[in-house]
Amino acid sequence: MRTGFLFILLFSLFSCNSTIKEAEEFANPILAGFYPDPSICRVGDDFYLVNSTFSYFPGIPVFHSRDLVNWKLIGHVMDRAEQLDLEGQGVSRGIFAPAIRYNKGVFYVTCTLVDIGGNFVATAENPKGPWSNPVWIPEIDGIDPSMFFDENGKAYILYNSIPPDNKPLYDGHRTLRMYEFDVQNKKVLGEEKIIVNGGVDITKKPVWIEGPHIFQKDGYYYLIAAEGGTAEQHSEVVFRSREVDGPYEPYSNNPILTQRHLDPKRENPVTSTGHADFVQTESGEWWAVFLGCRPYENDYFNTGRETFMVPVTWKDGWPIINFGKDEVQYHYPLPAGASLKTSALKFSGNMKIRDDFQDGELNKNWMFLRTPKTQWYDLKKKPGFLSMQLRPESCSGTGNPSFIGHRQQNLKGEASIAMNFLPADENEKAGLLIFQNENHFYFLCQSLRGSESIIQLFKSSSSTGSMELLAAEIINKDQSDKELFLKIEAKGSIYSFSFGFEPEQWSLLKDSVDAKYLSTKAAGGFVGCIYALYATSLGKPCDTEAYFDWFQYTGNDDIYKRTGAKDDNK
Contact (CB, 8 A) for 270 and 308: yes
Residues of the chain with pLDDT under 70: 1-23, 342-345, 562-570
How many CA atoms are closer than 13 Å to the CA of 307, on its beta-carbon side? 27
Contact (CB, 8 A) for 81 and 371: yes
Residue 541 lies in a domain: yes
Mark whether 235 and 380 lie in a shared domain. Answer: no
Write the DSSP assignment of 319-361 as a string of letters: EEEGGG-SSPPSEEEPPTT------SS--SSSEEEEE---SSS
Q: Considering Cα of 260, then 262, then 263, then 264, what sign does the dihedral take?
A: negative
- 396: closest CA among 369, 429, 425, 430? 369
Residue 555 lies in a domain: yes
pLDDT for position 2: 44
Task: Find all residues with CB under 8 Å of 267, minimum gap 6, and list them.
Answer: none
Q: What does each C-alpha distance from 133 to 77, 189, 332 come to in angstroms?
A: 9, 21, 39
Residue 424 lies in a domain: yes
Mark whether 177 and 119 lie in a shared domain. Answer: yes
Alpha-carbon span 460 to 395, nearest angstrom: 10
Mark whether 205 and 120 lie in a shared domain. Answer: yes
Q: What single-letter amino acid sits at 361? A: E
Q: Considering Cα of 448, then 450, then 456, then 458, what sign does the dihedral take?
A: negative
Mark whether 430 and 322 lie in a shared domain. Answer: no
Q: What HEC string does 284-307 produce?
A: CCEEEEEEEECCCECCECCCCCEE
Task: Find all residues with CB under 8 Å of 263, minimum gap 6, and list them.
Answer: none
Report the CATH number at residue 505.
2.60.120.200
- Is residue 102 classed exposed, middle or buried when 0-12, 13-18 and 19+ CB atoms within 10 A define those classes? middle
pLDDT digits (tens, 9 = 90+) for 499-544: 999 988 999 999 999 999 999 999 999 999 999 999 999 999 999 9
- Computed on alpha carbons and rounded to an integer, the radius of gyration of the chain in Å comes to 24
Residue 168 lies in a domain: yes
Residue 88 lies in a domain: yes
Query: To which H or E segment does residue 520 belong?
Result: helix 520-523
Mark whether 286 and 395 lie in a shared domain. Answer: no
Q: What does each C-alpha distance from 321 to 184, 348, 449, 553 come to in angstroms?
A: 36, 21, 58, 33
Task: Find all residues with CB under 8 Å of 569, minimum gap 6, and list them.
Answer: 9, 10, 346, 349, 350, 351, 352, 560
Domain edge (last residue) among 286, 317, 333: 333
Mark whether 324 and 242 lie in a shared domain. Answer: yes
Domain edge (last residue) among 282, 315, 333: 333
Mark whether 374 and 449 lie in a shared domain. Answer: yes
Mark whether 175 and 102 lie in a shared domain. Answer: yes
Q: Which residues are catalytic?
A: 37, 210
Q: What does each C-alpha distance from 544 to 429, 480, 501, 536, 540 come to in angstroms?
A: 10, 16, 21, 9, 11
Structural domain span for residue 507:
361-559
pLDDT for position 355: 96
Q: How far apart are the first and last CA of the chain?
A: 22
Give the total number of structural domains in the chain: 2
Alpha-carbon span 360 to 550, nearest angstrom: 13
Mark whether 438 and 291 lie in a shared domain. Answer: no
Q: What does each C-alpha distance from 505 to 277, 338, 421, 496, 524 come to in angstroms?
A: 46, 41, 19, 15, 36
Write the DSSP assignment of 355-418 as a string of letters: E---SSS--TT-EEES---S--EESTTTTTSEEEE-BS--TTSSS--EEEEEE---SEEEEEEE
Query: To which H or E segment does residue 179 belong?
Result: strand 175-182
pLDDT for position 340: 86
Contact (CB, 8 A) for 327 and 270: yes
* pTM of the entire predicted model: 0.94
Residue 241 lies in a domain: yes
pLDDT for position 343: 63
Task: Find all residues with CB under 8 Å of 282, minimum gap 6, and list them.
Answer: 42, 44, 45
E strands in 28-136: 39-43, 46-50, 56-57, 59-65, 72-78, 94-103, 106-114, 118-124, 135-136
Contact (CB, 8 A) for 457 and 546: no
Phi then psi for residue 559, to 5 deg, are -60, -25
pLDDT for position 41: 98
- 485: closest CA among 430, 417, 538? 417
pLDDT digits (tens, 9 = 90+) for 176-227: 999 999 999 999 999 999 999 999 999 999 999 999 999 999 999 999 999 9
Contact (CB, 8 A) for 121 and 103: no
- Is residue 311 classed exposed, middle or buried when 0-12, 13-18 and 19+ CB atoms within 10 A define those classes? middle
Report the CATH number at residue 296.
2.115.10.20
Residue 565 lies in a domain: no
Q: Name the 3-class secondary structure at 19.
A: helix
Partnered with residue 51 across adjacent β-strands are: none
pLDDT for position 566: 56
Q: Considering Cα of 258, then 263, then 266, then 271, what sign does the dihedral take?
A: positive
Mark whether 365 and 321 lie in a shared domain. Answer: no
Mark whether 319 and 374 lie in a shared domain. Answer: no
Residue 2 lies in a domain: no
Query: To which H or E segment does residue 16 belong?
Result: helix 16-22
Q: What is the DSSP letter of 156?
A: E
Mark whether 257 and 372 lie in a shared domain. Answer: no
